[in-house]
Structure formats: structure tokens, C-alpha cells
Structure 1
Amino acid sequence: MKITYLLLTVLLFQANAETLAQRLTIKKASTSLRSIFTEINNQTGYSVIYSVKHIERMPAVSVSLADVPLERAMEQILTGLPLDFTIANKEIVIKEKRRPRVSSPSSIKETALEVIQQTVTGRVIDEQGNPLQGAAVRIKGTSQQASTDADGRFSFTNVDPSAIIVVSFVGYESKELPASVNLAAIALSPDVSDLDEVIVVGYGTVKKSDVTGSVVSLKASDLTPGANVNVQQLMQGRAAGVQISQKSGEPGSAMSVKIRGVSSISAGNEPLYVIDGMPVNDAPPVSGSGAAFVANPNQRNPLNSLNPADIESIEILKDASATAIYGARGANGVVLISTKKGASGALKVNYGANYGFQEVANSVRVLSGSEYHDVLNAIIDDGGGSASERVDDNYEADTDWQNLLFQRAQTQTHDLSFSGGANNNRFFVSLGYFGQEGVVQTSSVDRYTARINYDNTVSGKYGFGINLTTSYIKDRINSFGTGINEQSGALYSAIYYDPTSPIYAPDGSYYRSTFMTMDNPAALRDGQNANSDSYRTFGTIYGEYFVLPGLSIKAKLGGDVNNSQRNVFVAPFTTQGLPGGVASILTGTRNYYMAEGTVNFNKTIGDRHAINGVGGVTYERFGSYSFTGNGRGYALPDLGYDAIGSGEQALNVIGSGRAGTILASYLARVNYTLDNKYLITASFRADGSSRFGPNNRFGYFPSAALAWKAHEEDFLSDYSFINELKLRASYGSIGNQSIANFLYIPTFSIGGDAVFGDTRYTTINPSRNPNPDLKWEAAIQTDIGIDFAFFKNRIRGSVEYYNRKTTDLLLSLPQPLSSGFGNRTQNIGSMRNTGVDVQLSVGVLQGDGFNWGIDGNISFLKNKVVDLGPLNRIIQGGAGFINNASIIMPGRSISSYYGYEVLGVWQEGDDFSTTTDNVKPGDLKYRDVNGDGTITDVDRMILGKPLPDFTYGMANTFSYKNLSLMVYLEGSKGGSILNSMLVDSYFPISFRRNKVAEPYLNRWTPSNPTNEYPSFVNPTSQGQRQVNSRTVETADYLRLQSARLSYNLPVKVAFFNSLNVYVVGQNLFTITKYSGVDPAVNSIGGDVLKIDFAAYPFTRSYLMGINLEF
């Protein structure tokens, strides 16, 4: 860390030197001021602006300066002369000093006349500081106008100080400025239409109008600044075909990102992230197991190390034409993240901060103490449960265990950045801090980040640069336990613990119910402590040689090093901590190194042909190492993991592991344009991965795309309202290498002891049946789309159809018992995703200071398993008490929920002769699918699917002068979720576990013969039907994800270049029929299944913040 910060400091001072520390060395005798000013320009690059007639009247001067700072040098040069100066924006302006006047009536009149008839001069430049010759400059409301000269300068005389100067130039946005302000450097910004916008694609950039693939570009200005804590939140709901869901509300938890559905059953389904040209490994930093390892089903977000405030743009590549250049890692889409760069000009300093709080948006409504007493005793009276578990009428407490764990949590963010540079170099440096308490006590995260981006061009022939970020993250993750069910931790216990139990026993210890096998939630809150520290540094350094105009060679080196440690202690006053406490330390190191060489070319041939492309090679090496130490039974438990070896030696366990992979690749892409109308893109990548055996080590991934700019055709020239009309199509192959390492190599494990003769030997047993013929999962994708823009881009968008078929799915298949192995990984089966993505932006109202814009998207998805090779179905999935929750079968969506359809409740007077099952009035009535009179496994049916039919998002932005309001909605339709809390509630009342309130408060009784909920007297009379149409619920929702009200203070009231204040609310309300904490939650379901298992609750947050630039 110290070396990293030292490097940041050195590079910052190097980049600032030219702008902030100009020094002069001049020795001249009896020399004109004009000659000295020319020398100043030569040494510093600063322009010296002066009136020739004033300077010519000045006497010759003698100057002797040796390494003197610029400002002090100017003071010495002008000593004794009636001249003054100012320095700003790389310009030195020389002006006459004011002479005092006698306050006679005539002099007052002269002074007034001088003010009224002042001379206005200025200079017009572009964003890089280059002069703009021929810019039109006029005084608003008058006939006075002028054009700038070769140096971008203009001048007016007899100008009213209250006048407005209007500056315009073709291809740039016009500016209006008061005549009274400093006009020495009027910087115009390019008037870039959406079509001329340059976006990032794999290994290069391209104009948006020339894109042939499916790419969604999100700029920093499109996002919700100050309200996002990770990269995925920036993207959520902004792009059609990209489904982003938060797995839980825990600080720092991972988010699920799916681009156009899922492509694999057992391999990864997350996209590849590329930051500033370097692929980022998205695996969690450490993992491990052992008796003391406090489980955390919510993986930490691997992109937490990246500060969202540093992001300039995000490009999401969705089709094969865009992603094939990433080959074996492109099957699930690619997310390109570009961080901010500096710009030539004066130093800019930005500071942003926000502060706010979070609260639980929704919790699980369980029975209160009084409800628990009444309901459980009534069910026991009706013949359910056990009389020994009756709740005493004089129960001791009415404890809301969830509320005991929850808190109003504070959150704050601070970001500071510096940017600037000269003509040949640019720098951006940032520091950031993010701190967030969890809404569950004893959970939190703190993140510290630093970044430097630096680019330099030498003599127009060479270029080099560095993009480097470093971070330190500290988090507490104490809400989950050491296992499943009764050992699932404080949140699980808070839902199910007896609400009539007190927090503490009379002796002050934590109360322990004699009926329950789980611990008191307060004991788990205070007795399970897990703290993690993660240090990560990643970035790239590059060098580039510009061989010829349009031809360059670039070499890049990259690295990503992550060191993490997780310390855990489970106190002896918990069940899992007996005896003497349990401690665990898990350390992990992950490192990634990349070397890349590319050749870029760009050639225009005549007026009709343009061709550009890139070719290159990459070499990537990934390695990891982990070490785990567990101890148990400490005489002094307070030492915890600080003395892990002091436990009972017989109970101590240690373990370690190491892994590494290599990926070597060749890549190429060519773009050809004819008449700026017809575009062709072809790309190819060959990947060789050590994860696969020698028989199939290399995979080859080609793609091609065509596009036609119909709006450039003559026959549409009369339709002036059409700004863009582009048809495009692509086809290609992409791969997926996200599988376990070295499945083609046999592995062995230590077995039991064997005795030969009088000697005991330790045996070694084969533990994996290798498959040397394993090959890549490959996805063949077709994409057809249309991009459009009408009425001066007030209506713009795209419509796309895609069809992606994944073949050679990797699955673990059961083996004959005679083989000695249980399973073997093989390539079988295929799966298809088809859908339509629609993106639309509308400028509803524009003018008179008020603007209203709508940006919306909707994505339709159909997922279908095509075949499973020799298998006709796979039944799998579950958590806790739930087993075999889903089915994978041809013709159906992946991991469809598989269980029993509930028709209602058996009522008095029903014909019970239709079933041979032991049912009574008040029991659930299931559909007898095969009509044999009994409910068995063959009566299971598909009840829903995790993947929704469509997702959507819409942002409404309203602005009036300096005030703006952004309201963002997002939602999902057609998906389902398995609610494990309802599964538990449909079990018999036993062990005094609490239950979800709604079904029990409205249960069937003879006086309340509802057809909705059973009596719960004997809910498993027909067996444990855990997955049914009551426990599988709809996951449809509409959410007001965020609302942001901001105000830009006028610059004239402060010394800031800009000052913005805002308030933000997030997750403000959700419309849904789901009865759990949130329909988007997926605490332990994995990539292809959604299960709400005592999830960390989602939060509602309120923030206020400020952004300054000066």
C-alpha cells in the first residue's frame, strides 16, 4: 500500500509540474518587453496578451532571472512600469494600471463615460486549449459582431458592461457570457450528436453511428450520481436485455447480472467485466470451510474495489459481433468500464459528498407473542402438535426478535478528484471513502479507494500511460451462522425464535428455550463475529508507437493483486461455540497478470472507402492461494482468533490450497465502410485455456456483422425528420470457460487405513474420474436490430431480436457403481435464449427553461432447454428443509420450480372417497395429476420459473432552469420465487418455532372454512410437500428505485466553477404480491434458481449531498 501511494504522489506531481510550477530563466539587457514576452512564451507555453500601442510606449528593460517562479518573475519584469498582469488558463494578460483621478465634475463624467464605453477583448478556444479561428462573436441585441483571428482573438469597443456576448462556431455548442466577466479563454464544447458520439468497444473505440453490433452505452451524466455504491447499481434498469438484481440488502453483497438470460446450467452466467481494457476476475477473494467458518451465502461484490465516482462510461456488449473478440469469456456478455481521464487545461478539483441513513424496507411478518400464544394453543387444542409444547398463559415476554436486530443505519461517501494537464499529457487522480452501517446490527462495510490515470504523448510519435487503482475494504458479516437451518445465524433465528421468550435469563445470561434447538438471536448477534480485510490493487501500464498516420503499435501490461483475511470467532455462550469457543482464520491471495500486444490501423481510401481494425495477442495468468486455520476449546476464549493455536490440539484443523490457470489468445477485428452507408465488421479470436485437456485446449470464435445506414440514402433525403435509420444484423460464436480447473486430470484423496501383515498403511483413493475430451461450451448467436432517431433526435432508440443457442453444456452425470465414481463431467445438451430488446428515449418537452425527457427500456425473454443428451430430466436444487426444488427438462425454462399444485382446502362435506390419503377437513387439497387417488412424486408439476418473461425500466427527468428531478422506475413480470419461510410454516408446529403470521391468523377452522389456508393441525398428513403452489410465489414487482432532486447554484454566487446540491431517495416503494422481504432477493438460489432463505432485508435509503468543482 505504501508503495502504491508513493507512486500516486510522484505521478501527480509530475503531471502537475507544467501547469502549476512554471519557472523562468532570462538574462537580457536593454531589451524590449515584446522580446521578453516572446521568451516567456517559448519557455512556458503560456500566451502573453497585451495591447501593442501600450507596450511600444514602454522603455527597454534589463532582466536577470534564474529559475524564478512565473508569478514572481512577472512582478520583477514589470517593476517600475505602469503595467499590471493576471495569469489564468495558460494566459498572461498585460494591462495598464489605473491612475488616480481628481473627483471634479468633469473627471466624474470621464470616468462614467469610460465605464459605459469599455473595450471588450477575448479569445475563443476548444476544450484542449487550441484557438478556434473564424468563430462568430456578437453582442446580443445589437448589430455588433466579429470573427476570431488565427489565434482565436476578438475585440469590441464601446460595450455596455451589462451586455451579453454570444459565441458560436460550427460543430460546437454556443455560449452566452456577460461582457463583465473574464473572457480571456472562452472554451467551447463540441456539439456532439448521439450519432457522432464515440463509444468503447473491445480493444478500441468507434463512432456510435458506425456500430454494427448490439451495444448499450451509459455515460456518467446518464447515471444517478452520489446514490450508488457499486458498478452494478449504476447499470440497474438502464439497458434493455440486462437483468440486474440485488441478492440481499447486506452491505457489500454481490449483485446478479444476467445479459439476455442464462447460457449455462453448471458453468458461470455472469458477464465479463473489463476495466480500462483489462479483464477483471469476478471470483470472490476468499472462500473456505471448516467448523468455525461463519458461512455467508451472499458473496461479496468483486467490483466493490472500484469507486463509482471514478467511472466515465459503461458499455454493455450483448451480441456475438460485439463480444466474440473476447472469445471464451464472451458467452454471457461483456461490460466495458472506462474510468475518467484528465483534459488539457487548468487544474480542476472536484469534491462530492453525501450523508444519509437506511432503514429496513420490509421484514418478515411473523406472529407476535400474544398471537403466538393464541394460535399455537388453539392448534394444540384442535389435535395438532404436542400438549407439552403449549404456551404458558403467563408467558414471560413479547419479544420482536427482528426488531431487536434491526437499526437505522448511517451511510456516507466522500470523493475528491484532481484533473488537468498540458497539450501532451493528461492526469486524473481521485481519493474516495464509502462507509455504510448495515440495518442488521454488527454488519458494516468501509471502503477506501485511490486512483490515478495518466497519459502522455511524446513528440507525436510515442505515447505511454498508466491506469491504477488501489483499495482497502473492511467489513463485518455477522448475520449468518455456521451452517443451515438451526445453525443459519441471527437473521434466521430472529424469524423463528419463540416470541414469548425473554432476551436474558434471570442470571443475566442469554435466555435459552428448552423447546428450541437454535440459539437466542441476541446471543448469535453478539456471539458470532466475522471480520474481513481486503487489500486490492489493479491496473495497467501501456506504451504506444505511432508508426505512420493511421498505424500504431501498442503494448500493455496489467495486474490485479488481492490479499484478504477473514477472522471469525464464535463465543462459547452459543451452541456452535461450545466448548470454549471456536476460532477460524482464512487468508487468501488472488493474483492476475496480463501481457497484451496489439496493432491498430485506420485508413481512408478516396471518398468512398474506410477501413480500420485491430490485431493482437494476449497472455493471461491467474493464481490463488488460501490457508485456513480452525481451533476449538479455549481456556481463555477472549483471545479468540488472536491465539488460534491455543485451543485443544486434538480439535484444531488446518488446511490450504493453491490453483492457477493460463489463457493465451490471438484476436483480430476489421471494420469496413463504403460511402458512409454500408458497414461490415468481422472478428475472430482463438483462446487456449489450461482449464481444458490437450484434446480440446483451443477454442475458435468468429463473428460477422452488417449494417446499412438507410438515412444516408438519397431516396430518404426529403424526409428531414429522420436523423438516423440503421438496420443491422450479426452472427457469431462465443464461448464459456467458467468451469472448475483441470477436470481432465484425475485427483486423489486420503482414504482410511489398511493393515498388511503387522503394518498399518494410509491409503490414497481416486476421487475424480477425469475427462480429457471436455471442450468449451459454445453459444451461437444471431442478432437483428434497427436503430432510429427522429425529429432532431427527440425520439431515438433501438429494437433488437436475438436468438442464442448454447451447445455442449457441461454437466456432471452419474456413473455406474462399478466405475468406483459417483459422477463425471461431460459435454451434453443445449439450451436456447430468444428475445426482443427495446430501448427508447423521448424528449417530451423542450423549451422556455423547462425540459422533460423519458428514457425507457423493456426486454422480453424466453429460455428453453433444448436437450440433455442421455437424460430426460434433472431434478435438483434446494436449501435448508427444501430438497429437489427445481427441474431441468427439454422444452422448459431452466430450473423451473417443480412441486405440487394446491387446489384449495378440504372442506366438511367434500367427497373423501376420491382419495386414499389420510386427509381431513382443513388439510390442503393437492391436484392428483395421474388420477390414482393418492398424492405421490409423480403428481409433481411445473409451478413457475425463476427467469421473468420481461423486465423494464423507465427514467423520467424534469428540469427547470437550475432545478432538476429524476424519477426512476423498474420492474419485472412473469418470474417466480421460492419462499422458504412459508415452507417452514407449512410444517407441523413443533419445537416452539414461530411462523409466518398471515396463514396462521387466517387458518381454516370449522367457523372459518377458508379455501386459502389449511388448519395446520396436521399439515404433513400427505407427506412433506415442501415445494407447492403456495410456497412458490410470484416475483412480479414495480419499484420506485430512486428519486433525485438537485439544484445547480449559479456560479456567480460563489467562487466555484459549479456547485450542485441534491437529495436522493432509493427503494422508496415496491408494488408486489410477494409475501417475503423482496421479490428480487435471491439469498442462496444461485445463478439459475431464486430462493428467499431468511434473506438480509433490503433497505430504503435517504441521502443528501453536494458536488463542487473549483
Structure 2
Amino acid sequence: MRKIFTSLFFLCVLLTGLSSMAQVKTVTGKITSSDDSGPLPGASVKIKGSTTGTSTDSNGSFTIQVPSSSAVLVISLIGYKTQEVTVGNRTTIALALASDSQQLEEVTVSTALGITRQAKSLGYAAQTVKSEDLNYNHQPNLVNALQGKVAGATISSTGGGPGQGASIRVRGVNSIDPNISGDPLYVIDGVQIDNSTSTVGANPGGNSYGSRGVTNRASDVNPEDIETINILKGGAATALYGLRGANGVVVITTKRGKQNGIQVNFNSTYGFENVLISPKVQTEYTQGVLGVYTNPPGGIGPAWGPTIAEAKLIDPTHPDKLFNNYDQAFGTGQQVKNSVSLTGGSDAIKFFSSISQLYQKGMMPNTDNKNLSARLNTDLIISPKFKASVNMNFTNSGGYTYAADRFGEGLAYFSPRYDVSDYENADGSQKYLGTNNPIWGTANNKLKGDVNRFIGGASLSYDPAKWLNLSYRFGIDTYNDNRVRTARGPMYTGEAMYDNEQGFYGEYNTKFRTLNSTLVATFTTKLGEDITGTLRLGQELYDRRIKEIGTLGSILGIYNFFNLTNAGVVTLSQNLREKRLVGYFGEATFDYKNYLFLTVTGRNDITSTLPKENRSFFYPSASLSYVFSDHLKLPSVINQAKLRLSYARIGKDASEYSTFTGYSPYGSLPTGTGGLTIASNLGNPDLLPEFTNTYEAGLEMSFFKNRLGFDFTYYYSLSQDQIIQTQISSAVGYVTKSINAGDIRNRGVELVINGKPIVGK
């Protein structure tokens, strides 16, 4: 009996265990967004009442083992409403999460190399500007549209006229050399683009011909095509971009298609602009000690000149009032823009296309700008593991520009006795009244630009396994900039010509092309129960070529016939600059229980602009994000609190040919033939890379259901071995030389305060 009882006991225990094991089952599923049915990577999937959980992969898929059919899964993701679902008899679960309006500030953001990460995981400062904020004032230049919206960024317009350039300085000046651009790197949908300002044709004959304002290439991008702009500020934020991101990075994400049928949007705007504040001028006393009214017999009159009434007694032609020529010179600027967009998609393909036309008439006389832009963004889902995208943007822009500072200088010299807007005699010559009329200059010394630009990119993404993603992106930015400079010559001897000299005609062309190629392998795995690790390894190639050609014909035979055959002297110019950069990089990120995040990066760049023995250099970075509101129990009014720390070392190279001593064309030989002479720059074969160490600490907090929040940042950077072009004694046969000399220390604080005092239902 004892043996029978013992056998029955063990049989019951075995059956009970088998019953428990039978209840444990594997559940797979996919989490998508209810907005566009797209997959949601990084969503948390946990078993309610336990610590067991997982997260979705890049396709939104997950796999989890549940103890029983009564288990409840809790699915959550920042920016979306949390949902709970009972497993029941299902082994596959498909769920769409709805957006949470109270968490929209915490959606994922696009960081370096197009990597999308949760905002709370970032250990550095990054600020996002959304489309509705960017286009609130319908500013046609996207750089100007960022004014007042980004902490730590100084944004200024370089000319003020229509289509003229604007620049950004992120966290101050980082270089002593004024010839080195301090602009950040611009990236549109993963394609690194150019925002340089070409001065070809702007000042062809030196100051004697007068300088003219020019555009920079950020003005080619249509702000209405932009979904978000993310400004990466610190060294840790831009480390993966290498030396090209040393001044910060402006990451631009354009609009994409959605799976909600075909939508057509048309937008038409008209705007005008006037000078907000002009200098105040006195209106009681007329021209001073050098005027014709202040030289009575026997001596010099008072320095402030006579009153208007006294002047009219001496000269009946004197006007009844003085002119404020700042008001007289500037008119009302106009802006007309029409745009139409078409968007749509299905499960396999999504697209966004747009076309826009812009015309601007400047406040300065005889200035304008036109811009025609077309865009097509396409996303393809070839298979669940294979995706592709293609982006194309074509722009034609141009118009007449003028230098605003030159115009303002002319107004300062002009006497208020005369109306500056009355600038021309009946024969077209200038009404010269002791000083040149700046409006006559805008009408008779012109620079017209015409730019055709294409920005294109293609990317491929392949998931051979759940833990591995391979991606490749290729981008091209190319434009052809044609400029024509015209200034008529004198009709008769002694005619006042301002800065036209004897008249001139110039044709200038800039061909610009950059290629960038990026290959990235991403490995993701669980390092124990609480830690998720991600490793990225990649290689990048950047290649740039700029060719500039100019022909200037001066001393016109027929004063208003603009043709090179009409020029007495023809001067040719040509310039070619090439640069190549190869980078190898790695990034490791660690996520501990979704509240502590560590990111470590390393990059090695090889640049063509430094000596062979110094052209390869390595620099690391590290950043930490601690979301202590998800770790500690805080008062209920606090929704999120995050502390972040980061360190980075950034490398920078030199301008092209700084290490090379070459030759320059020489066309003033007595024989009339051309030749060569030594270049003005003495090459430095010992030039070293420039390095900057950056440190950053920040605190982010939000309160009252995210209706109030702040972001505080302290940063410090020290740049050493600055690469500067310095003047040297001409006795050595050269004028300049690039050397490593000088340090720059840069530190400051940034504070961003967000508030929503009133929220509508």
C-alpha cells in the first residue's frame, strides 16, 4: 500500500507541473500607430503585476512568454496612450496605439545620422522646432524663421534684402580665423547639404567697383516642406557627424506621406514689409558749416547751420522742410507665395510631393527674388524586412541683390536738404549733389543671380535578424550658380559715376557638388533582464568639389552695351577646390530599466586637407541621461525630471591647400601672354588638427501634466591648437601662412521655458 500511495503522490505532482507548464505560452505581436499605421519601435510590452517585459523592434514586433491565458499585457510608449490587453486564447496580438496629446513634447526625435531616439534618453541638449512654429510668420528663409525659437543660437541676416543669406552661430564663435565659417552643418533627410556664401562676382574689381549682397543656399529650401528641425548643439550630440559637425548640426526632417488616402493642400499668401524703425533726424536746421548758406561775408557761420526759414531767405529754392532720406529711400516690400502639395499612400508605398512659387520685392529699390521649388519624397516597403526611401528636391532661384550696408552708408552721407528718391536727370545721369546717390547705384550697378539646385537622397534598410539592422544612405547636393554684373559707363566726360568707374560687365559661374555616403550596422540585444544594449558601427564618405569661373570686361566702349566685345580690358579668373573626408565611427548605448541611459561614441576621421602624417585623428564622446522621475517617487505635480551630463572631444581640419605652396596665374607680362607666379599663401606641412573639449550639464523638468516645464543647460568648451591664417612678412615672398596658434574658451547657460496656461478641450 505504501508503494502504491507513494507512486500516486508523485504522479499527482508530475501532472500538476505538466499542467502549469502547459499554461505558459509564447505570444507574438506587432504594435503600430493609429495615426498612420506605421510600426512603433521601442514600445514597452510588460506583463501586468510582474517585472517581466520586452520592447518592440524596429518593425514594431515583439515576442513574450506569458504564464497563463489570463495574463494582461501593458503596452506603453512615450507620446502614446497606454493600453492593456488580455491574452486569452490568442498567440498573436496586433494593437494600434493612439497619440497622447499630453505627451507630444516627448515623442522621438531625429538625432545624428538619422537615428531616431526617445527624447528622454538623450544626454545632451537638443531643441526641436515644429512646422507650425517655423511657418507661423511665413518667413521664406528657413534660417530667419528660426529667430527667437532656439536657445543658444545667434541668427543674423547678412544683407536684409530679398533672398539674401542668413547665418546661425550655435553657442558662440568657435574659431579665431574670420575666414573659417562658423555655420553649423545642415542635414536634410540624412543628406548633408551646403549653406556657404559664394562671393564670386560680388566684388569683382575690389572696393572701386562696389560690393553687392549675395545669397546663401539655405534660402533654397522651402520651409513649408519641413516637418521638424532639430538643433544639435553640444559635442556629444554631433560626435557621429565628425569634424563637419563641430559647429553644431541642424537636422531637418521634411514631410512624408501617410496611409490615409490622397490629400491635396493649396496655400496662397501675400505679405508686405516696411522698415520698422529708422534713425531720427532733426528737422529745424538745414545744412551745416560746409553748406552754401553758412558762409556770410566776413566769416564762417554757426556750425549747426541756419534754420529752414533763414535758408529760404538766402535761397528761395530751398524746400519748405528737410527730408528724412531713410524714409524716402526705402519702399514697401512685397511677398507673394503659392504652393500646392499632394500626399498619400498605401501599405507598400507612401509619398509626399509639393511645388511652390515665391516672389519677393525688396524694400531697397531695384531688388527682388524669385524661387521655384519642387519636392518628391517616397517611402517603399518592399518586404517586412526591406525598406527604401527616395527624396528629391529641385530649386530655381535668383534675382537682383544689393549690399544693405553699402546702401545705408550712402544714406548717411546724403544731405537732408535734397530728396534722395529724386536721383536721376532726364538723360539718365545721376543728380550729383556733393555725394553719390545710393538709389542711383541700385539702378545702374546690378548683380543678378540665377541658381539651379538639386538635392537628392536614397536610403535602404534591411533587417536580416531581429537583433540586426543594416542601412545605407547616399546623398548628393549640387547646384549651378550663374551671376551677371552690369554697371554702365559714363555718357560724357566728368559724369558722376558712383562706383561704376568706366563701366563694366561680368559673367560668373560656380559649379558645386557634394557626395556623402553612409553605411551603418546596428546590433540590439538584451544584456540581462534590465539592460538593453545597442551597438552601431559605420563608415562615412564625404566628397566636395567647387569650380568657379569668372570673366570681367571693364572700360566699356559704348556706355550701356553689356557685352565682353565692348570691353577695353578683359580679366579672367578660375578657381578649383576639392576635399575628401572618410570617417569610421561606433556608438554603444545602454538602457537600464528605461530610466538610465548611457551613450559612448568614437570616431576616426581621415581628411585630405592635412599633412599625410596628421590627417588621421580619433575623438570620443560620452553622455548620460538619468530620468529620476521614473526611478524615484516624486510629488504628483512633477511629470518628468531628467538630469543629463556629457563630454566630447571634437576634431577639426584646415581649409583646402593650407599645407601646399603652389602657383597663381599672372597675366600682366609685357608680352601680353599669361604666366605663373608664386601663390600668396605659404604652405605648412606640419599643420595639426584642431581639437575642442566640450562639457555639458543639464536639468529638464515638466509639471502639471506637461503644461509647464523648463530645460536648463550649462556648457563649457575649450578649443586648442586653433588653425588660423596669419599675415607674414612679404620679405619671404609670401603674404599668409596657416599655423596652429591660440585657444578659445566658450561657456554659457541656456534656459528654455515651456508653458500652456490655457488648453482647449
TM-score (norm 1): 0.55
Count residues in correspondence: 658
Describe the superposition over 1:854-911 as per-residue Cα deviations: whole angstroms up to 9, x where unpaired. xxxxxxxxxxxxxxxxxxxxxxxxxxxxxxxxxxxxxxxxxxxxxxxxxxxxxxxxxx
1:754 touches 1:763 (CA, 8 Å); kept in 2?
no
* Aligned match of 1:723: 639
| Equivalent residue in structure 2 for 1:585, among 504, 507, 511 | 507
What SS class does the counterpart of residue 321 from structure 1 fall into? Answer: helix
2:213 touches 2:401 (CA, 8 Å); kept in 1?
no
| Equivalent residue in structure 2 for 1:570, among 466, 487, 496 | 487
Asked whether 1:844 is paired with 2:754, we answer no
* Aligned match of 1:618: 540
What is the alpha-carbon distance in structure 2 between the residues aligned to residue 750 and residue 425 of structure 1?
Answer: 54
* Aligned match of 1:207: 118
* Aligned match of 2:89: none
Q: Residue type matched to 2:443 in 1?
A: D
* Aligned match of 2:469: 552
Question: Within 5 A, what are the aligned runs for 1:748-827?
Answer: 748-749=663-664, 764-765=677-678, 767-815=680-728, 819-827=732-740
What is the alpha-carbon distance in structure 2 between the residues aligned to residue 699 and residue 628 of structure 1?
Answer: 37
Describe the superposition over 1:610-660 as per-residue Cα deviations: whole angstroms up to 9, x where unpaired. 1123221111111111111111343444431xx223322xx1212222111
Cα 1:285–1:236 change in 2 (3 A) is: same
* Aligned match of 2:618: 700
Cα 1:751–1:336 change in 2 (3 A) is: closer
* Aligned match of 1:833: 746
Structure 1 portions without partners, runs of 5+: 1-123, 133-168, 175-186, 481-487, 850-1110
Q: CA deviation at 1:463?
A: 1.3
What SS class does the counterpart of residue 253 from structure 1 fall into? Answer: coil
What is the alpha-carbon distance in structure 2 between the residues aligned to residue 821 and residue 837 of structure 1?
Answer: 44
What SS class does the counterpart of residue 639 from structure 1 fall into? Answer: coil
* Aligned match of 2:594: 676
| Equivalent residue in structure 2 for 1:645, among 552, 562, 565 | 565
Q: Residue type matched to 1:670 in 2?
A: A
Q: Residue type matched to 2:485 in 1?
A: V
What SS class does the counterpart of residue 695 from structure 1 fall into? Answer: coil
Asked whether 1:225 is paired with 2:136, we answer yes
| Equivalent residue in structure 1 for 2:36, among 116, 128, 131 | 128
Cα 1:346–1:797 change in 2 (3 A) is: same
2:463 touches 2:470 (CA, 8 Å); kept in 1?
yes
1:405 touches 1:525 (CA, 8 Å); kept in 2?
no
Question: Within 5 A, what are the aligned runs for 1:363-382?
Answer: 363-366=278-281, 371-372=286-287, 381=300
Asked whether 1:465 is paired with 2:389, we answer yes
Cα 1:577–1:606 change in 2 (3 A) is: closer
* Aligned match of 1:260: 171
Cα 1:836–1:654 change in 2 (3 A) is: same
What SS class does the counterpart of residue 262 from structure 2 fall into? Answer: strand
Asked whether 1:455 is paired with 2:373, we answer no
Question: Within 5 A, what are the aligned runs for 1:478-493?
Answer: 478=402, 490-493=407-410
What is the alpha-carbon distance in structure 2 between the residues aligned to residue 749 and residue 374 of structure 1?
Answer: 50
Q: CA deviation at 1:381?
A: 2.5
Q: CA deviation at 1:743?
A: 0.8
Question: Within 5 A, what are the aligned runs for 1:69-108?
Answer: none
Asked whether 1:520 is paired with 2:437, we answer yes
Cα 1:506–1:531 change in 2 (3 A) is: closer
Cα 1:777–1:268 change in 2 (3 A) is: farther
Asked whether 1:341 is paired with 2:256, we answer yes
| Equivalent residue in structure 2 for 1:732, among 648, 666, 683 | 648
Asked whether 1:411 is paired with 2:335, we answer yes
Cα 1:235–1:512 change in 2 (3 A) is: closer
Asked whether 1:197 is paired with 2:197, we answer no
1:305 touches 1:471 (CA, 8 Å); kept in 2?
yes
1:285 touches 1:564 (CA, 8 Å); kept in 2?
no
Q: CA deviation at 1:470?
A: 0.8
Describe the superposition over 1:230-282 as per-residue Cα deviations: whole angstroms up to 9, x where unpaired. 22233222222122223342112222311111111113221111111121122
Cα 1:689–1:504 change in 2 (3 A) is: closer
TM-score (norm 2): 0.79
1:285 touches 1:562 (CA, 8 Å); kept in 2?
no
Cα 1:461–1:572 change in 2 (3 A) is: same
* Aligned match of 2:276: 361
* Aligned match of 2:227: 312
Q: CA deviation at 1:846?
A: 3.8
What is the alpha-carbon distance in structure 1 between the residues aligned to residue 168 and residue 480 of structure 2?
Answer: 25
Question: Within 5 A, what are the aligned runs for 1:667-1066?
Answer: 667-713=585-631, 716-717=632-633, 719-737=635-653, 739-749=654-664, 764-765=677-678, 767-815=680-728, 819-846=732-759
Of 824-833 and 719-728, deviating more is: 719-728
Describe the superposition over 1:191-250 as per-residue Cα deviations: whole angstroms up to 9, x where unpaired. 262575110110211011211121112222443435221222332222221222233421
What SS class does the counterpart of residue 613 from structure 2 fall into? Answer: helix
1:665 touches 1:687 (CA, 8 Å); kept in 2?
yes
Q: Residue type matched to 1:381 in 2?
A: I
What is the alpha-carbon distance in structure 2 between the residues aligned to residue 131 and residue 549 of structure 1?
Answer: 14
Q: CA deviation at 1:704?
A: 0.6
Q: Residue type matched to 1:199 in 2?
A: V
What is the alpha-carbon distance in structure 1 between the residues aligned to residue 733 and residue 38 of structure 2?
Answer: 75
Q: CA deviation at 1:509?
A: 4.6
What is the alpha-carbon distance in structure 1 between the residues aligned to residue 586 and residue 756 of structure 2?
Answer: 39
2:335 touches 2:359 (CA, 8 Å); kept in 1?
yes
2:190 touches 2:473 (CA, 8 Å); kept in 1?
no
Question: Within 5 A, what are the aligned runs for 1:127-276?
Answer: 127-129=35-37, 189-191=98-100, 193-194=103-104, 196-203=106-113, 204-225=115-136, 227-266=138-177, 267-276=180-189
What is the alpha-carbon distance in structure 2 between the residues aligned to residue 337 and residue 246 of structure 1?
Answer: 20
Q: Residue type matched to 1:414 in 2?
A: N
What is the alpha-carbon distance in structure 2 between the residues aligned to residue 271 and residue 762 of structure 1?
Answer: 39
Q: CA deviation at 1:424?
A: 2.4
Asked whether 1:441 is paired with 2:365, we answer yes
Q: CA deviation at 1:188?
A: 7.8
Of 298-307 and 371-380, deviating more is: 371-380
What is the alpha-carbon distance in structure 1 between the residues aligned to residue 727 and residue 570 of structure 2?
Answer: 35
Cα 1:506–1:663 change in 2 (3 A) is: closer
Question: Within 5 A, what are the aligned runs for 1:648-659?
Answer: 648=568, 651-659=569-577
Cα 1:634–1:621 change in 2 (3 A) is: same
Asked whether 1:423 is paired with 2:347, we answer yes
Of 193-202 and 346-355, deviating more is: 193-202
Q: Residue type matched to 2:521 in 1?
A: V
* Aligned match of 2:47: none
1:781 touches 1:805 (CA, 8 Å); kept in 2?
yes
% identical equivalent positions: 23
Q: Residue type matched to 2:34 in 1?
A: D
| Equivalent residue in structure 2 for 1:280, among 175, 178, 193 | 193
Cα 1:449–1:509 change in 2 (3 A) is: closer
Q: CA deviation at 1:813?
A: 3.6
What is the alpha-carbon distance in structure 2 between the residues aligned to residue 674 and residue 125 of structure 1?
Answer: 25
Cα 1:188–1:708 change in 2 (3 A) is: closer
Q: CA deviation at 1:367?
A: 6.0
What is the alpha-carbon distance in structure 2 between the residues aligned to residue 421 and residue 469 of structure 1?
Answer: 19
Cα 1:754–1:234 change in 2 (3 A) is: closer
What SS class does the counterpart of residue 219 from structure 2 fall into? Answer: helix
Cα 1:229–1:837 change in 2 (3 A) is: same
Describe the superposition over 1:984-1037 as per-residue Cα deviations: whole angstroms up to 9, x where unpaired. xxxxxxxxxxxxxxxxxxxxxxxxxxxxxxxxxxxxxxxxxxxxxxxxxxxxxx
Q: CA deviation at 1:607?
A: 3.8
